[in-house]
Amino acid sequence: MGPGSWPWRLGTTSYILPADLSANVRFLGPIVDNVELLLFESEEFGSNIPEPGVVAELADLAAEHDLTYTIHLPIHVRPGSPRASERTLAVDTWNRVLERTEPLKPFGYVLHLEADRPGAVPSSDIPAWLDNLDLSLEAWMGAGRIQPDSICVETLGYPFDLVWPLVQRRGLAVTLDIGHIWIMGFDAEAAVQTLLPHARIVHLHGVDGVGGEDHQGLEVTDPDLLRPFLTSLFRQPGQRVVTLEVFCQEHLESSLEVLELFRRTL
């Protein structure tokens, strides 16, 4: 089944081909409804924030294929840092992306509220970390250049309960990355019940077990995890994007096959 045939806008990432943003969007236009533009900017990896000419080309491709875009904001920033300079860098990075991609009229922006350290405990001082996240969000949103419900905070490797009150207080939306829930061994049923109604964006990808490898084709996922989630997803159609967050053509094709096979069982 092609674009427009799902109960939500079905998408995937801008890294299916080993090529630039435009080449990927040109390839994906006939296949999906939405492309997640994965953007980065750091000293280590450089920057792929598109120049105005590329943005104009992406806008033309969107019009040609009736595509929308979701923008994955760069992750190599620390909005919860105790250092004001690092928080300022995060906000400045978000603003540069916002300004550059505004002509694309993005469906939503995927935002990582990054941990200060790896693992399920995101900081040695969680109250201070949450306060600093709030300061960064206030600095970004205070100018009124972005609608709160277009900011979609992603579920990461720590319990989302930690940031959920902040997300609600700020009126933000959610990116429910169910693969992250699965791989961390968190309660998927509770996450779906609480967060799916607020999820403007869903990230869906294969996971080969708790603590295993993610962002694979859906076929590697335990059916006892995948079936209940897909059932909930198909039963709650609406104005959201479901992104197959994989990074090669093989995993995209196998994931599309899994979705189509599941749909035939409904």
Distance from the first to the final alpha carbon of the chain: 15
Task: Tell whether 1 is covered by a domain.
Answer: no
Q: How many domains does the chain have?
A: 1
Task: Tell whether 4 is covered by a domain.
Answer: no
CATH code (residue 139) = 3.20.20.150
Task: Tell whether 2 is covered by a domain.
Answer: no
Q: What is the mean pLDDT of the chain?
A: 96
What pLDDT score does 139 carry?
A: 97
Confidence class for position 4, pLDDT limits 50, 70, 90: confident
The 10s digit of each residue's pLDDT in 132-158 is 999 999 999 998 889 999 999 999 999
What pLDDT score does 1 carry?
A: 60
Containing structural domain, residue 91: 9-263
- Rg over alpha carbons for the chain, rounded to the nearest Å, is 18
What pLDDT score does 25 carry?
A: 98
Task: Tell whether 39 is covered by a domain.
Answer: yes
The answer, yes or no, to whether residue 184 has pLDDT greater than 90, is yes
The answer, yes or no, to whether residue 119 has pLDDT greater than 90, is no
Tokens of 106: 């993005």
For residue 212, what are the CA distances in angstroms to 182, 185, 188? 10, 10, 16
The 10s digit of each residue's pLDDT in 61-100 is 999 999 999 999 999 999 999 999 999 999 999 999 999 9
The answer, yes or no, to whether residue 226 has pLDDT greater than 70, is yes
Confidence class for position 238, pLDDT limits 50, 70, 90: confident
Task: Tell whether 3 is covered by a domain.
Answer: no
Please provide residue 38's backbone torsions phi and psi, each rounded to the nearest 5 degrees: -85, 110
What pLDDT score does 143 carry?
A: 82
Question: In this predicted model, which residue has the larger pLDDT, 4 or 162?
Answer: 162
Which helix (H) or strand (E) covers residue 260, if one does?
helix 249-263
The answer, yes or no, to whether residue 124 has pLDDT greater than 70, is yes
What pLDDT score does 227 carry?
A: 97
